[in-house]
Structure formats: structure tokens, C-alpha cells
Amino acid sequence: METFLEFVIRQLVEAPEEVLVTKVEQGRKLIFKVEMRKSDVGKVIGRNGHTITAVRNLLIAAASRTGQQVLLQIVE
């Protein structure tokens, strides 16, 4: 899941080498913190939040297959 998230985010930004994905596990809950260049945040969020919502939905679907919960945070 972490590799998939990193791949998708890197395809959306101008500076893919500056993307950092950190995974924090809290029991059955996974928290992904994504750090990137401030100018790339808007590209990842997308118009009206549609892009980030789609990425979150994919993560939720993947996590539910293993009985986990997932949370995606954008860190500026």
C-alpha cells in the first residue's frame, strides 16, 4: 500500500524526488503522512479535493481487504 501511494503521489507532483511518505501503525490503523514541496500540494489535492479523495478511497478499499483502517495526511 505504501509503495502504491508513493507511486501515485510522485506521478502528480513536479518534484517527485522531494516526496516523502511515512507510515505510522497504531494497532489496526495505518496513518500515511505525505510530505512534499508546498507548490505541489495543490496538484495532489486537485480541484475541489477530487484527486485526494480518489487516492483516499483507493487506500480505504485496499486497507479494508486486510481489516485495517487507513488515514492519509498531507504535511506541508
Q: What is the pLDDT of residues 45-70, one digit of tens each?
A: 999 999 999 999 999 999 999 899 99
State the pTM of this model. 0.89
CATH number of the domain to which 66 belongs: 3.30.300.20
- Give the integer Cα–Cα distance in Å for 76 and 57: 21
Write out the residue range of the structural domain in which residue 49 sits. Answer: 2-75
Q: What is the pLDDT of residues 8-45, one digit of tens each?
A: 999 999 999 999 999 999 999 999 999 999 999 999 99
- Give the integer Cα–Cα distance in Å for 47 and 65: 29
- Give the integer Cα–Cα distance in Å for 27 and 10: 28
Q: Which of 14, 13, 31 is nearest to 22 (CA)?
A: 31
Q: How many domains does the chain have?
A: 1
